[in-house]
Structure 1
């Protein structure tokens, strides 16, 4: 409420000057809105050495702290945006956390206070996380199974994940959900050494194979899905799978040599994904056109991520420079130095999350979250737990209440 009062005071003070400039009034109002984060968006940060989670309210720059079961957890956001998945890979455990914000199309309802969910999982090396069609999924590297639960069960007493056994060997795998409720899952046949899989097959919710693999690769890592296409990074090219069993490889650019995309990111456009490799940079993968085009070619990228609404790509360089790309035009729309340079050999590097209005960057050395306004590049620092580790945004890019 204080922020709204200050806005009104500002506008009334300037009223004599702006009386005849209604367009200027609109511009000023937009500028004031862009100066702060959406009311119902939150930042969650895990810690490398302690069990603490830092829940950041970016509107007022405050942090509250919660104790997870273990330290050094990976964080993800569920499809609805309301919940976060907390993956303790080494400790064979999955937790859920509720932002307390429920989206209703044009507004957000507050459903209690932020808290852990009753829903927990126990499996062997849960690693890969996905959330589609109201489900929460993990791929368990320790035994090649999937664990699945419903978002609606997060607060059901004693709720747990159900295991899907598709007869897979243990491997460092991944899965993707199709719109018809079936899954694409990686499988290992040991044609290459190591833990990476070589193939992808389509299964149903019981683990039954619906469509066997049609393409064999020299190794798979990284994947994303828009519900129509499941896309996997592979040493043999970009592997695309569909729910009807169709599969294809899109060739990598001719100058890639042995490089390949180990990270695949979703975008807001069906059939378009971002592929990233530290050896070359970030590229737009167009499944329909069978094309791969550069967004940024650089070997100095520390991390790249899609924005929360999937319309932009954020790139953080080791130099401390942040670049923002429009995924429709592939053009850079913003860039600025936002943090100090980071050594490429640093054991713990900053991570970031990107909203429509801000980029949030962890600072492990100073126990802070760096909040950068994308309109002005003004910087605010918010104290976190001792050694901030992973980061995710959850909640909603919306400020309208019921």
Structure 2
């Protein structure tokens, strides 16, 4: 009897071990079958529409579309730092809302924590325009009154949650802000030394709006900025303005052949102290704020879209000709070239928009109401009907297929 018991015990342990191993094998199979020519399981594409309040959430892995209704049409879309949420900015309607993908990162895997839905967190603001998300915060610079609206990612679904307003006693202007890792902000100032809506200098404030460091440098106009938490970089017609949290400021000269051209767009990269500067008049350049160098990545005056990839390691450009080019930011070498779309007129009222993961480029086709999925491994292009006039696009979620929800 005893022998029979031990034999059964041994067999049950053996079968448990076998199941455990087979589960491991399943996991490895899942991972192995997650071919690089397929999108990651937990990547989502969010799109707005020009004419309607429709938002489209596309799951490329499942080839599935979900539709939602935003407060207004023609919304600008931005992904928050965590990747889970989107900020939906309605500049002309003085409103900001949030969207929750429902995906939650748990270190080595992703959980589907909830269904995709709008967040509770929302705010009214005067001409909210410039969006940033760092250190768990969601921020807009409000052009209408020069204030900041600050919310927390952790509060997106919290009942009664709201944005707080930071008033730094600024004049209304087309401004921008950048967050430092220590929780202070570099924020643009308008002193009217230049006509128009562009600011001329940058000061550093705390989260109450109090000035910690006054502006040190005056420019002839600022537009576009990015921050890696240590350096805040602003595009300016006087040079590339670099600001540190201790109040240090410097200007880096544009390349000698720029003439009056300057970077109106600055993008973050995955490399500390390195940023992308873009101007349609010259092209896209790598700015190293430590070495004070500006190197061309692509010198071209026909760039329609210029975006960093979701992991900030590659630079993607889409030319008016429809040619798509992908550059490795660390080597500045071309990683991929493909004819992605038909030609777009330079004076087209609505141009294709683009977002890029490490496996796909997603490009809107406003004329056909489609989303083009450009496979960066095989160069194959799939089309998906999304809405009548797709307007803006952003990536949500995680470049991962690891889950414990088997």
Query: Which TM class, normalised by the smaller chain length?
Result: over 0.9
Tell me, in whole angstroms, the C-alpha distance in 1 between the residues paired with 2:333 and 2:381: 24
1:310 aligned residue (312, 320, 330): 312
SS at match of 1:377: coil
* SS across alignment from 1:119: strand
Cα distance, 1:159 vs structure 2? 1.5
Matches within 5 A, 1:89-108: 89-108=91-110
Write out aligned runs for 1:197-212 (5 A).
197-212=199-214
Q: Is the 8 A contact 1:83 1:97 kept in 2?
A: yes
Q: How does 1:42-53 map to 2 (within 5 A)?
A: 42-53=44-55
SS in 2 for 1:120: strand
Residue aligning to 2:124: 122
Q: For the structure 1 residues 330 and 95, does the alpha-carbon distance in structure 2 shift closer, same or farther, using more than 3 Å as the test?
A: same
Following the alignment from structure 1 to structure 2, what is the Cα–Cα distance between the partners of residues 161 and 33? Answer: 41
Structure 2 counterpart of 1:267, from 266, 269, 283: 269
Mapping for residues 142-291 of structure 1, pairs under 5 Å: 142-291=144-293
Determine the C-alpha separation between the residues in 1 that align with 2:356 and 2:235. Answer: 23
Pairing of 1:352-363 with structure 2 (within 5 A): 352-363=354-365
User: Structure 1 length normalisation: TM-score?
Assistant: 0.92
Question: Separation in 2 of the partners of 1:125 and 1:46?
Answer: 19
The alpha-carbon deviation at position 158 of structure 1 amounts to: 2.4
Q: In 2, are the aligned partners of 1:63 and 1:382 still within 8 Å (CA)?
A: no
Match of residue 389 from structure 1: 391
CA–CA distance in 2 between the matches of 1:348 and 1:40?
Answer: 29
Residue of structure 2 in register with 1:11 after alignment: none
Contact 1:126–1:142, Cα closer than 8 Å, also in 2:
yes
Q: Secondary structure at the match of 2:154?
A: helix
Partner of 2:295: 293
Q: What CA distance in whole angstroms lies between the structure 1 residues aligned with 2:266 and 2:32?
A: 34
Classify the secondary structure of the residue corresponding to 1:224.
strand
Q: Is the 8 A contact 1:174 1:222 kept in 2?
A: yes
Alpha carbons 1:363, 1:370 under 8 Å: kept = yes
Question: Within 1, Cα distance between the matches of 2:34 and 2:312?
Answer: 24
- Structure-2 separation of matches of 1:112 and 1:249: 46
Q: CA deviation at 1:61?
A: 1.9
- Structure 1 counterpart SS, 2:170: coil
Listed as ranges, the gaps of 5+ residues in structure 1 are 1-25
Shift of 1:241: 0.3
* Residue 340 (structure 1) aligns with: 342
**Offset of residue 318 of structure 1:** 0.5
- What is the alpha-carbon distance in structure 2 between the residues aligned to residue 52 and residue 115 of structure 1? 13
Shift of 1:60: 2.4
What is the distance in 2 between the residues matched to 1:299 and 1:90?
30
Q: Number of residues paired by the alignment? A: 375
Alignment match, 2:38: 36
State the match for 1:370 in structure 2.
Answer: 372
> Quick one: distance in 1 between partners of 2:183 and 2:66?
37
Q: Using the alignment, how far apart are the partners of 1:277 and 1:200 within structure 2?
A: 21
Q: Are 2:130 and 1:135 equivalent residues in the alignment? A: no
Instruction: Give 1:333 shift.
Output: 1.3
Question: Unaligned regions of 5+ residues in structure 2, if any?
Answer: 1-27
Which secondary structure state, in structure 1, belongs to the residue aligned with residue 257 of structure 2? coil
Match in the other structure for 2:332: 330
Distance 2:80 2:375 in 1: 25
Distance 1:35 1:237, change over 3 A: same
The answer (yes or no) to whether the contact 2:41–2:61 under 8 Å persists in 1 is yes
Match of 2:55, SS state, is strand
RMSD: 1.1
How many angstroms does 1:295 deviate by? 0.1
Aligned equivalents of 2:333, 2:322: Cα separation in 1? 20
8 A contact 1:63–1:383 mirrored in 2: no
